[in-house]
């Protein structure tokens, strides 16, 4: 895979004001005007070689454990409004939060029963995922083993039978072809039985091997603290209820250095910032997307962005769009004409990654600054958000 490496250096200069010193003005002799050198523009990439990815965060279409919290008509309406957006992409990704399982008893044991949730979605609900256009899903999260490996086995088998690829359990990596391009997706999470993001040496080796064998490598990460107080990405490890939830920034940068082309984050249950690193896009959290009951969807937890990304032939980020939807119970996500999720993610990006080479408009359009008409970051009102 051809790589374009970018080097970002931030130099902060501090100086004290001093009285101005008189400067003698010398008039130079007339010079012969020379025409400016032509500015080279990025070469256009044939559309046939571009790939579009639609990505969303957590998906949990209802649970029948410990009580019946299933939607009417087996969730027929839950993804109806968002399906046209999801089906339009070459690749459509989501994080399946829970298990696809008929019956069975839970294996997961909770330290705190007040913050313990177990999700068991009947296997027939896979129809809703297929109808919505999902092509690949992450099974690397803290609910994939709510019903042990029996539950995860059932989820993997059910998705496969429906033609939906998956990654999550250690060794489970999705590989397929789109438009003649070889694609690989590997999902990481700091939980038992999943690809471990804390083992950075192993992650580097695995991603590098995938990059050598495939044209595009996508990495999914279920990392970071949870809740509406966790909207900011912070350097170093994050913790939730005393549990190590990993170093999102360090991990994302590591896998891109190793050859990944796109990193998709989820886990905090709220949207977070995006970053451009070596011409590759990182979305640190896409929040909740369609979580029927059992998961809080008030305030920022109810924002359900759909991230559309266009990648070049070598995986370089070309442009993208944050489409704002929000969950509206008892239904699923609906379009938000106020662009709330997009504007929040733009503000968070401006605060958490002020030097990243991206522009994000109020309607959610994302461009590298080298492609931006103005070359200036958007003006955002961050008065409502706390500084890090």
Condensed to tens digits (0 to 9), the pLDDT of residues 18-35 reads 344 343 333 344 443 444
Rounded to an integer, what distance in angstroms lies between the CA atom of residue 173 and that of residue 165?
Answer: 9
Residue 220 lies in a domain: yes
pLDDT at 371: 58
pTM of the model: 0.84
Residue 7 lies in a domain: no
**Residue 378's CB: how many other CB atoms inside 10 A?**
17
Across the chain, what does the average pLDDT equal?
Answer: 86
Quick check: 37 pLDDT over 50? no
Q: What is the CATH number of the domain that holds 348?
A: 3.60.21.10
Residue 3 lies in a domain: no
- The predicted model gives 332-336 an average pLDDT of 96
Banded pLDDT at 43 (limits 50, 70, 90): low
Residue 289 lies in a domain: yes
Banded pLDDT at 49 (limits 50, 70, 90): confident
Rounded to an integer, what distance in angstroms lies between the CA atom of residue 1 and that of residue 293?
Answer: 43
Residue 327 lies in a domain: yes
What is the phi/psi pair of residue 184, to 5°? -130, 140
Residue 14 lies in a domain: no
Banded pLDDT at 17 (limits 50, 70, 90): very low
Rounded to an integer, what distance in angstroms lies between the CA atom of residue 264 and that of residue 220?
Answer: 5
**Residue 58's CB: how many other CB atoms inside 10 A?**
26
Surface-to-core class of residue 178, CB atoms within 10 Å of its CB (0-12 exposed, 13-18 middle, 19+ buried): middle
Please report, in angstroms and rounded to a whole number, the separation of the first and last CA atoms in the chain. Answer: 37
pLDDT at 12: 31
Tokens (6 digits) for 77: 């309406």
Banded pLDDT at 45 (limits 50, 70, 90): low
Residue 24 lies in a domain: no
Rounded to an integer, what distance in angstroms lies between the CA atom of residue 172 and that of residue 223?
Answer: 18
- Greater confidence (9 vs 370) lies with 370
Number of domains in the chain: 1
Domain span holding position 277: 47-368
Cβ contact 238:246 at 8 Å: yes
Q: How many CA atoms lie within 13 A of 15 on its CB side?
A: 5
Q: What is the pLDDT of residues 252-291, one digit of tens each?
A: 999 999 999 999 999 999 999 999 999 999 999 999 999 9
Q: Per-residue b/e over 75-90, b at no fewer than 16 CB within 10 Å?
A: beebbbebbebbeebb
Note every long-range contact of 248-253, with CB atoms under 8 Å and residues 24 or more positions apart, other chains counting: 248/221, 248/223, 248/224, 248/284, 249/284, 250/200, 251/188, 251/197, 251/200, 251/203, 251/221, 251/223, 252/219, 252/221, 252/277, 252/282, 252/284, 253/277
The DSSP bridge partners found for residue 184 are 175, 217
Judged by phi (left if over 0) then psi (alpha if -120 to 50, else beta), residue 104 lies in: left
Residue 255 lies in a domain: yes
pLDDT at 370: 73
Quick check: 171 pLDDT over 50? yes
């Amino acid at each position: 895979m051809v790589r374009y490496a970018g080097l970002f250096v931030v130099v902060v200069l501090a100086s004290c004001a001093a009285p101005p010193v008189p400067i003698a003005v010398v008039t130079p002799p007339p010079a012969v005007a020379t025409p400016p050198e032509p500015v080279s523009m990025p070469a256009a990439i044939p559309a046939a070689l571009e790939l579009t990815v639609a990505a969303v965060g957590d998906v949990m279409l209802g649970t029948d454990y410990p009580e019946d919290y299933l939607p009417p008509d087996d969730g027929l309406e839950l993804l109806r409004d968002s399906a046209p957006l999801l089906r339009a992409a070459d690749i459509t990704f989501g994080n399946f939060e829970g298990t696809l399982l008929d019956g069975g008893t839970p294996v997961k044991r909770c330290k705190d029963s007040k913050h313990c949730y177990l999700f068991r979605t009947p296997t027939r609900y896979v129809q809703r995922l297929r109808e919505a256009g999902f092509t690949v899903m992450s099974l690397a999260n803290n609910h994939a083993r709510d019903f042990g490996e029996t539950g995860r086995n059932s989820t993997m088998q059910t998705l496969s039978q429906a033609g939906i690829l998956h990654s999550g359990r250690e060794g489970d990596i999705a590989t397929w072809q789109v438009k003649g391009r070889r694609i690989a997706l590997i999902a990481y999470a700091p939980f038992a039985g999943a690809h471990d993001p804390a083992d950075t040496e192993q992650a580097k080796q695995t991603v590098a091997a995938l990059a050598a064998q495939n044209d595009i490598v996508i990495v999914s990460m279920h990392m970071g603290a949870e809740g509406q107080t966790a909207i900011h990405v912070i350097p170093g490890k994050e913790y939730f209820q005393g549990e190590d939830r990993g170093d999102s920034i360090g991990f994302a940068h590591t896998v891109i250095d190793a050859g990944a082309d796109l990193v998709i984050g989820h886990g905090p249950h709220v949207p977070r910032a995006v970053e451009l690193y070596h011409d590759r896009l990182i979305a640190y959290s896409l929040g909740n997307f369609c979580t029927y009951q059992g998961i809080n969807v008030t305030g920022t937890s109810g924002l359900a962005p759909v991230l559309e990304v266009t990648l070049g032939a070598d995986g370089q980020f070309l442009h993208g769009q944050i489409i704002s939807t929000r969950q509206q119970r008892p239904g699923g996500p609906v379009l938000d004409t106020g662009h709330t999720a997009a504007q929040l993610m733009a503000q968070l990006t401006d605060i958490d990654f002020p030097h990243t080479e991206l522009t994000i408009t109020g309607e959610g359009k994302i461009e590298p600054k080298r492609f931006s008409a103005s070359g200036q970051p958007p003006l955002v009102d961050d008065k409502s958000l706390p500084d890090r």
